[in-house]
Structure 1
Amino acid sequence: MDPIRFVLVFLISLVALVTAKANNTETDDIVWRERALQARQANQQAYEPNPHIVLNHLNSHVHKAFKGYNSTRRGLVGKRHSGPCEATNPIDQCWRCDPHWEKNRKKLADCVLGFGRHTTGGKAGKIYMVTDPSDNDLVNPKPGTLRHAVIQTEPLWIIFARHMVIRLSQELIFTCNKTIDGRGAQIQITNGAGFMIQYVSNVIIHNIKIYDIKVGSGGLVRDSITHYGQRGQSDGDAVSVFGSSNIWLDHLSLSSCYDGLIDVVKGSTAVTISNCHFARHNDVLLFGASDSYSDDKIMQVTLAFNHFGKGLIQRMPRVRYGYTHIVNNDYTNWEMYAIGGSQGPTLLSQGNRFIASDNMNAKEVTKREYTTESVWKNWVWKSEGDVLQNGAFFIQSGDPHHKFVHGPEYIPPKPGQFASTLLSASAGNNMSTPSRKRLMRDFKRLQHDPPAGISGAPQDNNIMLWNAVIFGTLQLSCPDDTPWDGGTFKLTLQFTEDYPNKPPTVRFVSRMFHPNIYADGSICLDILQNQWSPIYDVAAILTSIQSLLCDPNPNSPANSEAARMFSENKREYNRRVREIVEQSWTAD
C-alpha cells in the first residue's frame, strides 16, 4: 500500500473509532439518565412522611424480642432444655430461630426493620447459585459468577456453592430486585473493587465480609443484560448506595477500604444498615456526599444493632440533610468523633452505648462541621436512652421540647445498657471471639446437662459476666449431716478475653463462712489459680466450688477463723455455717 493511501485509511479508521466512541458515550448517557429518572421516582415513593411510625415499629419489635429471650432463659434455671435460640434482636430472631432456615432462605426478606422495612430483594425470583469466584470478563460475565448474577433482569436470590474469596476487577453494578445471601458459606470480597448500588431499588446484601477494597481503574463494564458501557474510576468504597431506595445491608463485616465503608448518597432513601461490624477505618459511613445536593433531604436511614469496633476514627455516620435513626448500636472505639454532620440533618440517637477512648480530646460523641453554633443549635440532634461511658458526652441541639413521637403512641427504645446483648449475633462483633464462643458453648452445655445443685447464666447484656447459684443439696462427696444442706448461695463469674486459657474471677455474693472463702467472697481454690486448665468449663468450676463447701482445706486458709474452728471445734463451725444457710433463704 502506498504511503498516501495508508494515511487515508488510517484517518478514516480513526474518525470511525472516535465517532463510535462518541455514539457509545451518548448511548451511555441516555441509559443512565433514564435510570436516574426512574430511580428518582422510586425514591420519592419510598420516602416515609411519618417517620415516627418506623421508629415505633422497630422499638416495639425490640421489646418483644427481648422479652421472649429473657423468658426463655428464666425458664432454664435448674431445668433440662434443648437450649434457646441465641438470637437476641428481632431481625435475627426472625430467621435464626428456625433450625431449618436453609430450606426457607427467603424468609429473611420478612425480617427487615427500620426505614428499609419494605425491602424484599430477590424474594419473588429464583435461587441463583454462584459456583465460580472469578471476575475476568466484565463485558460478558461468565455464568455462575457473581457479576453474571447481579446483572440479570429478573429478581434473583443469590447464594454460594462454597466458601469463596472474590476479587472484583471493577465495581459490581447491581440491577433491581436482588438478594446476595452469604449464609452457610464464608464469602470474602477483597483486594479489588466494591459494590455499586446505583439508581436501583430493592436490594438485600447479607452475611458478606468486605475488606481491603481498592480504587477501580474503570473501563467497559456490563451493568445489565442489555447494556454495557464505559465506567470511570471507582471511589474504593466497600458499598456505595447511589440514588437508590429500599436497600437493606445486614450482617456485613467491613474494614480497611480505600474510601468509605458504606456511602448512602445522591437522594438515596429507605435504607437499613443492621447487624454489621466495622473496624480499622477512617471515614466509616457517609450519608449525603455534598452540601450543595439538597435532594438528600428525602434520605432516611436506620442504623441498628451494629458494632463499631477497633481502629475507627470518624464518621459513624457523617450526615448531610435527611433523617437518621441510630438505635441500639455499640460504639466501643473512635479516635476523633462518632456522629457528625452538616446541612441540618435530623439525628435521633436511641439506646446506644458509647465508650470513649482514653484520649481526652476524643470524648465527644458528636461533631457539627463547617458551621457555627448559632446555626447548628437549631438542628434536631437528640439522645434518648444512650449509655455514655469513660467520659463520653453527647451534645444535643434543637428545641429541647421537640418530640419525635407525641402522646401515648410513643414507644421508647431499649436502653443503651442492652446494646451489646442485642448485638450478640452481629457480623464480626465481639461474640465471635474465641472466649465468647467458648462461653456460649459452656452455656449450652449447662442447659443441656446441668449438674445437680448448680445453675448459671450470663447477665442479660454481658456474656463475660455470669450469675450463678449453688444449692446446698446433699452430695455424694458430703456427709449426711453436712451443715450446708438447704442453702442457696449466689456467685458471680467475671471472664476475660483470655478465657479459657486463664480462669475467671469467681466471687460469692452471698455471705459465707468457710476456711477457703475470703471476706470479700473470693475463693481460694487450686483450679482457679495454679492448677487451672483450659479443659475446665463453667459447669466444672461450679461443681468444684460445690465440693469445696463440704470438703474444705484448712491448711490453705482464706478465713483463718473458719479454718481454726473447722479443725478444733467442728460443732461450733457447723452452727456458724447453719446461720449462713438460714441467711441465704432471705438474702436478696
Structure 2
Amino acid sequence: MTVTYVWDLCRLNHRLCGGAFVGTERKIHFTSNILELIFKMALPGSSNVENLSPQVLRQVAKEVADLCSNPPEGVKLLPSEEDITDIQASIEGPSGTPYAGGIFRVKLVLGKDFPRAPPKGYFLTKVFHPNVASNGEICVNTLKRDWKADMGIKHLLLTIKCLLIYPNPESALNEEAGRLLLEQYDDYFMRAKMMTDIHAKSARGAKESREVDENCPSTSGANTSGPVAKKHAGDKKVLDKKKRDKKRALKRL
C-alpha cells in the first residue's frame, strides 16, 4: 500500500545543508517511495552527490519530487535510488512520427559543474534519429550552446521529446539518418519506425514503462493503459514474428 506524506521542505533543507535551516514554508505531497528516495540521496556515497553543493542537491531534489508528482504528458521520471544525479525517464513516442507507440528510455547525467554546465543526455533505447549517436548521445542545442543555468530537468526532458517530433539534420550525429531525412523521407520514416518496433515496443520496454509508473504516479488524467499497450498484448504472437523478420532485415542493412 502506498502512504502519502506531507513533507515540509524546511526539514529537507536542514538535511541537505548540514543542519542549517533555510526559511521556506512550502509543502509538497510525496508518496512513500519518493520520500525514501530523497532521504537516500541526502546521504554520502552516491557517485556524483558529493561533488555537488547542498544548494544544487536541494534544487534537484525539488525538481525530482515535482516531476514525480506532476509528470509532463508523455514523460515519466524514474529516479535512481543510488544516485540522484543520474536522471532517467521514459518518453512516449509522439503520434504522427515514426516513433509513435514506442517507449524510449533516456538518461541525463549531471556533472560536477551542473548547473553552470549542461548535463549529458543519452537515449538508452536504440533509436534511428539524426541527432542521436550510435552510443545514444543526444545532440540538441539546449544541451550545448543554448544551455542556461536556470533551465530545469523538466525543460530538458520536454526538449528531448520535441526532438522526436522535429529532428535537426543540420547537427546530425547519425549522418545516414540526417541524409535520409532530407533526401528520402519515406525511407527515413520506414527505417526509424522499424527500429521503434524492434527496440521501443519490446517486452523489456513495457516492463520499464510499468516501473516508471510505479515510481512516479501519473496525474489523474494520464492514460497508463492506452490502446498501444492493449494492442501490444493482443498481437503478441504476430508482433514477435514481425520482430524476428525485422531483426533479420536490419542485419542486412
TM norm structure 1: 0.28
Structure 1 residues 564 and 538: CA distance shift in structure 2, 3 A: same
**TM-aligned CA deviation for residue 421 of structure 1:** 7.2
Cα distance in 2 between the residues matched to 1:569 and 1:185: 54
Paired position in structure 1 for 2:76? 455
Q: Which residue of 1 is the match for residue 219 of structure 2?
A: none
The size of the alignment, in residue pairs, is 181
Corresponding residue number in structure 2 for 1:533? 148
Task: Give the match for residue 174 of structure 2.
Answer: 559
Report matched runs for 1:256-267 at 5 Å: none
Q: Which residue of 2 aligns with 1:585?
A: 201
Deviation string, structure 1 residues 188-223 (Cα, Å, up to 9, x no partner): xxxxxxxxxxxxxxxxxxx8x9xxxxxxxxxxxxxx
Measure the CA separation in 1 of the matches of 2:189 and 2:178.
Answer: 12
Q: Secondary structure at the match of 1:517?
A: coil
Mapped to 2, the partners of 1:571 and 1:184 lie a distance apart of: 52
Counterpart secondary structure, 1:467 = strand
Deviation at 1:467, TM superposition (A): 1.4
Task: Tell me the CA shift for residue 450 of structure 1.
Answer: 1.9
Map 1:91-110 onto structure 2 (within 5 A).
Answer: none
Find the residue that maps to 2:115 and give its secondary structure.
coil
Deviation at 1:185, TM superposition (A): 11
SS for the counterpart of 1:485 is coil
1:446 aligns with 2:67: yes
Distance 2:91 2:53 in 1: 29
Q: After TM superposition, list the pairs within 5 Å mapping 1:496-575 onto structure 2.
A: 496-575=111-190
- Between Structure 1 and Structure 2, the one with more strand by share is 1
Shift of 1:462: 0.8
Give the root-mean-square deviation of aligned CA atoms.
3.4
Question: After superposition, what is the alpha-carbon deviation per residue over 1:165-189, rounded to whole angstroms, capped at 9, x for unaligned?
Answer: xxxxxxxxxxxxxxxxxx7998xxx
Structure 2 spans left out of the alignment, 5+ residues: 21-36, 205-253
Aligned to 1:436: 57
Match of 2:110 among 474, 489, 495: 495
* Distance of aligned partners of 1:436 and 1:252 in 2 relative to their CA distance in 1, 3 Å threshold: closer
Tell me: CA distance 1:443–1:533, structure 2 relative to 1, closer, same or farther (3 Å).
same
SS of residue in 2 equivalent to 1:434: helix
Secondary structure of the residue that 2:118 maps to in structure 1?
coil
Aligned residues with identical type, % of pairs: 27
Distance 1:561 1:185 in 2: 48
Displaced runs of 4 or more, over 6 A: 183-186
The one-letter amino acid of 1:507's match is Y
In structure 2, give the amino acid aligned to 1:435. V
Check conservation: 2:41, 2:81, Cα contact below 8 A.
Answer: no
Relative to 1, partners in 2 of residues 1:423 and 1:455: Cα closer, same or farther, differing over 3 Å? Answer: closer
Provide closer, same or farther for how the CA distance between residues 572 and 432 of structure 1 changes in structure 2, counting only shifts above 3 A: same
Q: Aligned runs of 1:205-224 on 2, under 5 Å?
A: none
Seen in structure 2, the aligned counterparts of structure 1 residues 98 and 499 have a Cα distance that, compared at 3 Å, is closer
- The CA distance in 2 between the partners of 1:184 and 1:443, in whole Å, is 13
Counterpart residue identity of residue 454, structure 1: V
Pick the structure with greater CA Rg.
Answer: 1
The 5 A counterparts of 1:45-84 are none
Matched residue SS, 2:171 = coil
> 2:230 maps to which residue?
none
Rounded to whole Å, the distance in 1 between the matches of 2:174 and 2:146 is: 21
In 2, distance between residues paired with 1:577 and 1:511? 10
Which residue, 455, 467, 470 being the options, matches 2:88?
467
Tell me how far 1:443 sits from its aligned partner: 0.9
Distance 1:492 1:184, change over 3 A: closer
Kindly provide the amino acid, as one letter, of the partner of residue 464 in structure 1.
Answer: T
| Range 450-459 or range 561-570, more displaced | 450-459
How far does residue 457 in structure 1 lie from its aligned partner after superposition? 3.3
Structure 1 residues 572, 447: CA separation in 2 closer, same or farther (over 3 Å shift)? same
Q: TM-score, normalised by structure 2?
A: 0.62
Q: Distance in 2 between matches of 1:252 and 1:536?
A: 28
User: CA separation of 1:98/1:502 partners in 2, compared to 1, >3 Å: closer, same or farther?
Assistant: closer
